[in-house]
């Protein structure tokens, strides 16, 4: 897809994006960020093993648990999802979401309205992480640390202008709007250099996680004591955690 400069400039706050990346590179090396980008590609490969069109009908409890364990906000909640919905329903709804014939907005709305047992933001994370990491060339990530419609906050808002138009009625329509903003940010980021830590949209995933980490570090530093600031993980670890690629440390990476 081709983008003209006025269109990009209206949506992407290039100055803010570069400033956030400048701050991030004070807290993490390029090698560390590129390693995270490579691990996102590995995560995607694992999702495709479980959720690809020709494999999803074989998804069992172990496979579903392994998928959920890679999603930061729900990594220990596979059992609750299975108890609330049943594995057959989860398999059927994931199939409709990932491989159905309806438009993407309708598929996201269907999934987030039919799956129960967790907070809506967590169910949305399951939907968009499954989409993005199963087909990263077609679909993008959306979690509430990136954009929270209720509070109008998140990493994506920090590097885009109001013209990005992130607000919409319903999860599906919002997901589509985020996709348009992400495509412009990704295009600008690969040209400007701040989205090169991973191939395709994985680079912008790493970048937005860095934006979130820098913002969190700044807020903690301003609002909390030095003792509490020590609780916040360093930037590479926080980026790894929110993207679900923290190297295993026992219980699902903790």
Domains of the chain, by residue range, sit at: 5-253
Confidence of residue 62 (pLDDT cuts 50, 70, 90): very high
The per-residue pLDDT for range 19-44, each reduced to its tens digit, is: 999 999 999 999 999 999 999 999 99
Average pLDDT over residues 57-69: 97
Confidence of residue 192 (pLDDT cuts 50, 70, 90): very high
pLDDT at residue 39, rounded to an integer: 97
Query: What phi and psi, each to the nearest 5 degrees, are found at residue 12?
Result: -90, 130
Instruction: Report the interhelical angle of 61-68 vs 30-51 (nearest 10°).
Output: 160
pLDDT at residue 224, rounded to an integer: 58
Query: What phi and psi, each to the nearest 5 degrees, are found at residue 148?
Result: -110, 105
Q: Is the pLDDT of residue 90 over 60?
A: yes
Token readout for 127 is 């939907």
Average pLDDT over residues 224-250: 77
Our CA dihedral for 59, 51, 97, 114, rounded to 10 degrees, sits at 30
Average pLDDT over residues 68-92: 97
pLDDT at residue 217, rounded to an integer: 85
Q: Is the pLDDT of residue 225 over 60?
A: no
Element (H, E) at 95: helix 87-99
Our CA dihedral for 135, 157, 28, 184, rounded to 10 degrees, sits at 50
Range scoring the smallest mean pLDDT among 13-17, 106-110, 128-132, 227-231: 227-231
Inter-CA distances, 100 with 103, 104, 253, Å: 8, 9, 32
More confidently predicted of 128 and 225: 128
Token readout for 194 is 């701040």
């Amino acid at each position: 897809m081709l983008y003209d400069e006025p269109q990009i400039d209206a949506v992407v706050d290039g100055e803010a994006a570069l400033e956030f990346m400048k701050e991030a590179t004070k807290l993490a090396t390029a090698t560390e960020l590129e390693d995270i980008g490579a691990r996102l590609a590995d995560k995607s490969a694992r999702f495709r093993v479980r959720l690809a069109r020709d494999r999803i009908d074989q998804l069992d409890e172990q496979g579903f648990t392994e998928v959920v364990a890679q999603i930061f906000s729900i990594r220990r909640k596979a059992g609750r999802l299975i108890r609330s919905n049943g594995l057959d329903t989860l398999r059927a709804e994931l199939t409709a979401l990932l491989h159905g014939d309806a438009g993407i907005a309708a598929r996201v709305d269907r999934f987030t309205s039919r799956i129960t047992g967790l907070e809506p933001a967590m169910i949305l994370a399951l939907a968009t992480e499954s989409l993005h990491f199963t087909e990263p060339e077609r679909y993008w990530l959306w979690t509430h640390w990136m954009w929270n419609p209720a509070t109008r906050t998140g990493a994506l808002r920090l590097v885009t202008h109001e013209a990005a138009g992130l607000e919409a009625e319903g999860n599906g329509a919002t997901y589509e709007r985020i996709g348009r903003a992400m495509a412009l940010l990704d295009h600008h980021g690969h040209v400007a250099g701040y989205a090169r830590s991973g191939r395709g949209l994985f680079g912008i995933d790493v970048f937005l996680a860095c934006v979130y980490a820098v913002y969190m570090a700044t807020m903690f530093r301003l609002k909390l004591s030095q003792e509490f600031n020590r609780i916040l993980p360093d930037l590479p670890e926080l980026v790894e955690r929110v993207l679900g690629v923290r190297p295993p440390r026992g219980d699902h990476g903790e």
